[in-house]
Structures are given as structure tokens and as C-alpha cells.
Amino acid sequence: MSTQPVAAESAVAEAADDGRHRTAVPLLAIEDLGVEFRTRSGTVHALEHISFTVGKGETVGVVGESGSGKSVLFYAVLGILDAAGRVTGGRATFGGLDLTRARPDELEEIRGREAAMIFQNPRVALNPIRKVGLQIEDVLARHTSTVSADLRRRAIEALAAVRIPDPERRYHAYPFELSGGLCQRIMIAIALACSPSLLVADEPTTGLDVTTQAAVMDLISDLARTRNMATVLITHDLGLAAEYCDRIVVMHAGHVVEVAPTAQLFSNPRHPYTAKLIATTPHGSTSLRSLAAIPGNLPDLRRSDLPPCRFSERCERVQPGCSEPGLRLTEVAPRHQVACRVLS
Ligand SMILES: Nc1ncnc2c1ncn2[C@@H]1O[C@H](COP(=O)(O)OP(=O)(O)OP(=O)(O)O)[C@@H](O)[C@H]1O
Ligand SMILES: [Mg+2]
């Protein structure tokens, strides 16, 4: 077993070596990223030493319990952390630009055009008092050179591309007139209007019934394939990630604990937390049973005495060495990294 920590270069090389990537070039390289929030009750150490890559055209799942930092990670990457949050270190290189040091105008240019995000709650993310067709036009007008005479046609095409029935009529609808599934499709249409090379889909199927969930996921996956668009699927649902993702990043309490190609993660999970997650996912189902089956809770991220392994206080395999500082993701097999002193 190699014990090389995942450095910037090896993270990129790991993506470049990936035989399952549709192309070999990493589009996004997150390296040693940290984020904290200053709050009245203390500093929340929300993310620490986050490192992984997303290749062009690749679909990467980011899974973990509620509060593990999945959303905050991509808010930090896209420069939309709220005012209490700040990046404490590291980089997120997208198309050659470190987004953590990019100017607001550079970030504005990238968001919506090059990298788009579908937020956790589509009804909140959509403007409730603007027709959905006009919301798509707004994005096209801001981020593309579409002339005003063509905006409406392009917006209707965008609605048709996400298979919204009767797009000419739906163009005039307000979000409250549409079902949850249709609102989610509108969010996808807005996100994809400018043909981004990266789509971050944050729990895109939460709150939808099972049939609509499958339709939305199939739509995202078809569009990603036909446009060679990289996709990050943020989800609690390990089964969903297994079905749609090339690789999976497992997060726990603000750390990445394991990264592996999907089949390898399921056949040979190395981190005790990943092994527990898989054990609590019913076989053949796409829904994660209660994560309460994993003993203990996430530690309070405001603690000043957080251990190097934030899973150690829940881990059945904990050893004295687990409290030694310097824990990092380590290559345990080709393209398979784990942050654990006691490899399972
Ligand atoms: N504005 C904020 N102020 C303080 N702490 C915050 C803020 N936003 C997020 N956090 C904290 O950062 C951590 C990560 O939150 P995040 O929303 O990224 O989790 P998540 O994995 O996306 O959870 P979920 O699955 O519920 O969406 C949590 O401990 C959360 O309390
Ligand atoms: Mg979230």
C-alpha cells in the first residue's frame, strides 16, 4: 500500500488516469480546501482538507449524512458562501482558474455559464413572482450573446430540452402553478440554458415521488451524456449515487473519508464509515435506510478539540493512533483514496 498523501499533482493525475472518464482531463480540482463559519456560539469548522477532482464529462457522487458539508463545499467552490463563511485555505481550480481567489466578476461569469448549480429546494430557488420562461430568458440575457428577438425561442427550446410538456404554454407559468417535478425541471432548464461544462445537482430529487425522481435523474444523466457535461450529484442516497455515478466521494463531518470508483467503493469499502453506510443501504434499493443505524452523531463542528479523524468517536475500530495529527487522504489502490489510520 502506498502511503503518499493526495497532493495537488496526484489528485489531477488520478483523474487523468481514470479509464472510465469520458475524457481524461480534470475539469475541477479541489485541493486541501477548508471552510469555517463565524457564529455567535463559536467557529464552525465546516470543511477541512477537502481534496478530489471531477473529470470532464464525469459524474461524481458526493454522499454523507446531513450536516457533513456537501452543500457548503460547492457553495465555497462557486463563491456563494454566506457572509459568515470563509475559505480558510486550499484551492478549487476550474478551467485553470482558482475559484477561491477569483474576482467577483470572474465568478459571476463562470456561474451560470461554465458551472451551474441546482439547489436543494427548487421552489425556494425560483423567483415566485416571475414567469418561468422569463427566468430562463434572464439567464440567457446575462450570460450569452443571444439577441433579444431570440430569447423567447431559446427559452422555449430550453423548456423542451428538459422534456416539459407543452413548453409554449409552460413558458407563461409561475412556479406555484407547477408541480414539484416540473419546478425541478425548470431549475434544470435554467442551469443548463448556457450549456455549462459542470452541473452541481444538490439533492435534485428530494421531495419528489419515486417515479418523478427516476425521471429527473434519467433526464440529468441523458443531458450530461449528450453534452459531455461533468455532473456532481450531491445526495444522502447511496443507492442513487451507485446507479448514476462513475465515482463516489464519501463525506463525514466536514472531511472526505473515501473516494473510489463506484463499483470499487461497493465491492471493497475501506473506511469504516463507508462500510457502515453500505451496510445500512438495503440491497437492490435506491433508498438509504436510516443512517441512525450508524452509532453516534456527527460531532459538534464548533468544538475546538475535534479529533483528527472526526469519525473516531463513532468508530468500532478506533485505536490510539487515530488521535495522532496529520490524517490525510491516502492512495490505497489505483484511484482509491481513504483517510483512515486503521484501514478496514
Ligand atoms: N451559515 C452558516 N452558519 C453556520 N454554520 C453553517 C452555515 N451553513 C452551514 N453551516 C454548517 O456547516 C455544516 C455543513 O452544512 P451543509 O449544509 O453543507 O451540510 P449538508 O451535508 O449539505 O447537509 P444536508 O444533507 O442536510 O443538506 C453544518 O454543520 C452546518 O451547520
Ligand atoms: Mg445540503
pLDDT in tens, 280-324: 876 554 444 444 467 788 999 999 999 999 999 999 999 999 999
Report the predicted TM-score, pTM, of the whole model to 2 decimal places: 0.89
Q: Which of 198, 155, 161 is nearest to 173 (CA)?
A: 155
Distance CA 162, CA 186 (A): 8
Q: How far apart are CA 257 and CA 270, in angstroms?
A: 9
User: Which helix or strand (DSSP H or E) is residue 157 part of?
Assistant: helix 148-161
CA 287 – ligand 1 centroid, Å: 22
Q: Which residues line ligand 1 (CB under 6 A)?
A: 37, 39, 44, 46, 64, 66-72, 82, 84-85, 120, 236, 301
From 37, 40, 63, 65, mutation site for ligand 1 pocket: most ligand atoms within 8 A of C-beta: 37
Cα 301 to ligand 1 centroid, rounded to whole Å:
10
List the shell of residues around ion ligand 2, using CB closer than 5 Å.
71
pLDDT in tens, 212-258: 888 889 989 998 999 999 999 999 889 899 999 999 999 999 999 99
- CA 142-166-163 angle, to 5 degrees, is 70
Look at ligand 1, atom 30, and give the residue with the nearest C-alpha. 67
Q: For 255-275, what is each residue's pLDDT tens digit?
A: 999 999 999 999 999 999 999
Portion of the chain with pLDDT greater than 90, in percent: 69
Give the pLDDT confidence score for residue 1 in this predicted structure.
Answer: 40
| Rounded-to-integer distance, Cα 315 and Cα 173, Å | 51
**β-pair partners for 42:** 39
- Look up residue 210 and give its three cell numbers: 419515486
pLDDT > 90? residue 23? no
Output the pLDDT for position 143.
Answer: 87
* Shortest-distance Cα residue to atom 27 of ligand 1: 66
